[in-house]
Amino acid sequence: MTIEMAAAPHIWDPPVAAAMLGPRGSGKTTFLVAAQAAFGARGGGPTLRAERPADHARLRSAWAELGRAATYPPPDTAPSDHSILLGLPDGTDIPARVDDHRGALLDEPGESMQAEILTACLAQAEIVLVTVDGAVLAAWSPAAGAARIVGDLRLSVITGLVLRATAMRRAQGLRPPLLALIVTKADSVAGSAHTPMASMPRLAPIAFGADVTTLVCRVSAVPAPGGALVAGTHLAPFAFAALVRLGRRRTELAARLGRALQPGTARPGSAAVTIAMQRELVEIRGAVGQLVGLLDDCGVYRDGKPIAAADLAGGREIERRIP
Ligand SMILES: Nc1nc2c(ncn2[C@@H]2O[C@H](COP(=O)(O)OP(=O)(O)OP(=O)(O)O)[C@@H](O)[C@H]2O)c(=O)[nH]1
Ligand SMILES: [Mg+2]
């Protein structure tokens, strides 16, 4: 049979591959702990759970420790990987694998063995989650110039690594990774005189270049009295990557469906394939509807220009093209 008839792999196979990168102490591990704490329980809304029970328990106890004694997770001495599930209110689980790289790596010389391993690892990532330390940002004044803070936030090192990973991906025919700039410790930023989010294009121009799709969000991990976390935008980076994947699939399906429905193209069995594609498009629309709201309060950029979250998944343009 033709490619049109071949069963497409399931949309979430393989899981979304995410790599977390940011300086030592910028809040990577705490972000993961807080994300699961805020959204770990099923209660009708979206959820974020570690797939492995031991991982789930470890993240939960790290949060309990944070709430009880304001003790944050210790600095990492090795990378850790987490298989997580972003659960949508309708019960759909979107799997992702998150590699949390220790920030100390960014202080090592660029040509070290570890940096080579890190670049190879980043080249596998569909999305790179860059933690931008909100406490460092809050202490900065834009009038002081960007050079020093770009160094403090390790954004120049990160840019170099992302560029190398992008080149490796291109050599394999893969797109550049999506980028999420996660401003952590948003509680520290709250009172600052400038708006750090607005400074991002100046501090991380790589995220606003041609052919790059970027999310800018902020998160905080300060437990409220009683231990609950004031829900924030912790799910946004995962929802963002999911929306992009859904948008690509939707575009591909809409084109295939358009071809299949052209008069004179019917082949044996094609009615079943057409119905399956239409059904999948309906499912995609449902998932998109549940994900878009998770990007409220975030900035989404493509080629350096702000776009609506719905446009990540094709938006109205693709809706018009679906037969
Ligand atoms: N005020 C505030 N402090 C935070 C927050 N999140 C993290 N911190 C502080 O930042 C420190 C470092 O956080 P981690 O999550 O361990 O940082 P990391 O990026 O994983 O660091 P490495 O493992 O060394 O790469 C914590 O020990 C806290 O002191 C936050 O939301 N608000
Ligand atoms: Mg860590």
Q: Is the CB of 188 under 6 A from ligand 1?
A: yes
Boundary residue ending a domain (232, 254, 271): 232
Q: Which ligand is nearest the CA of 27, by number?
A: 1
Degrees, nearest 5: CA angle 299-302-304: 85
Ligand 1 center to residue 260 CA distance, Å?
Answer: 52
Q: Which ligand is nearest the CA of 75, by number?
A: 1
Q: Verify that 37 and 129 share a domain, yes or no.
A: yes
Confidence of residue 5 (pLDDT cuts 50, 70, 90): very low
Q: Verify that 227 and 292 share a domain, yes or no.
A: no
Residue 113 reports pLDDT greater than 60: yes
Boundary residue ending a domain (232, 263, 289): 232
Ligand 2 center to residue 26 CA distance, Å?
Answer: 8
What is each CA distance from 188 to 136, 139, 144, 222, 277, in whole angstroms? 9, 9, 19, 10, 47
Residue at 38: amino acid letter: A
Q: Is the CB of 12 under 6 A from ligand 1?
A: no
Q: Verify that 227 and 190 share a domain, yes or no.
A: yes
Residue 273 lies in a domain: yes
Boundary residue ending a domain (189, 214, 232): 232
Q: Verify that 72 and 55 share a domain, yes or no.
A: yes
Q: Which helix (H) or strand (E) holds 93?
A: strand 93-100
Lowest mean pLDDT across 98-102, 112-116, 227-231? 227-231
Q: What is the pLDDT of residue 269?
A: 63
Count of structural domains, the chain:
2
| Dist. CA 284–CA 16, nearest whole Å | 16
Write the pLDDT tens digit of every residue in 219-270. Answer: 888 766 665 555 578 999 999 999 999 999 999 998 888 888 777 766 666 7
Ligand 1 center to residue 122 CA distance, Å?
Answer: 22
Residue 3 reports pLDDT greater than 60: no
Q: CB of 276 within 8 A of CB of 57? A: no
| Dist. CA 121–CA 101, nearest whole Å | 10
Q: Residue 288: give the domain boundaries.
A: 241-298+308-321
- Mean pLDDT value across residues 161-179: 95
Mean per-residue pLDDT over the chain, rounded = 86
Q: What is the pLDDT of residue 163?
A: 95
Q: Verify that 127 and 257 share a domain, yes or no.
A: no
Q: Verify that 123 and 253 share a domain, yes or no.
A: no
Residue 87 lies in a domain: yes
Q: Verify that 150 and 55 share a domain, yes or no.
A: yes
Q: Verify that 225 and 246 share a domain, yes or no.
A: no
Q: Verify that 148 and 247 share a domain, yes or no.
A: no
Residue 278 lies in a domain: yes
Residue 9 lies in a domain: no
Ligand 2 center to residue 249 CA distance, Å?
Answer: 33
Question: Following DSSP, what letter does each residue of 22-72 receive, concatenated?
Answer: --TTSSHHHHHHHHHHHH-S-SSS-EEEESSHHHHHHHHHHHHHHHHH-PP
Q: Domain containing 99 — which CATH number?
A: 3.40.50.300
Residue 22 CA: which ligand 1 atom is closest? 19
Residue 272 lies in a domain: yes
Residue 10 lies in a domain: no
Question: Following DSSP, what letter does each residue of 164-185 receive, concatenated?
Answer: HHHHHHHHTTPPPPEEEEEEE-
Q: Is the CB of 27 under 6 A from ligand 1?
A: yes
Residue 184 CA: which ligand 1 atom is closest? 31
For residue 294, give the nearest of 30, 38, 68 by alpha carbon: 38
For residue 177, give the nearest of 245, 268, 261, 89 by alpha carbon: 245
Q: Is the CB of 22 under 6 A from ligand 1?
A: yes
Ligand 1 center to residue 306 CA distance, Å?
Answer: 29
Q: Ligand 1 test: best mutation among 71, 72, 99, 136, most atoms within 8 Å of CB?
A: 72
Q: Verify that 220 and 247 share a domain, yes or no.
A: no
Q: Whose CA is nearest to atom 7 of ligand 1?
A: 27
Q: Verify that 108 and 181 share a domain, yes or no.
A: yes
CB-facing half-sphere around the CA of 117: CA atoms within 13 A:
11
Q: Residue 182, Cβ neighbours under 10 Å: how many?
A: 26
| Dist. CA 237–CA 259, nearest whole Å | 34
Q: Is the CB of 154 under 6 A from ligand 1?
A: no
For residue 183, give the nearest of 129, 127, 223 by alpha carbon: 129
Residue 153 lies in a domain: yes
Q: CB of 99 within 8 A of CB of 76? A: no
Residue 219 lies in a domain: yes
Q: Ligand 1 test: best mutation among 30, 118, 158, most atoms within 8 Å of CB?
A: 30
Ligand 1 center to residue 194 CA distance, Å?
Answer: 22
Q: Is the CB of 234 under 6 A from ligand 1?
A: no
Lowest mean pLDDT across 51-65, 100-114, 241-255? 100-114
Q: Verify that 198 and 283 share a domain, yes or no.
A: no
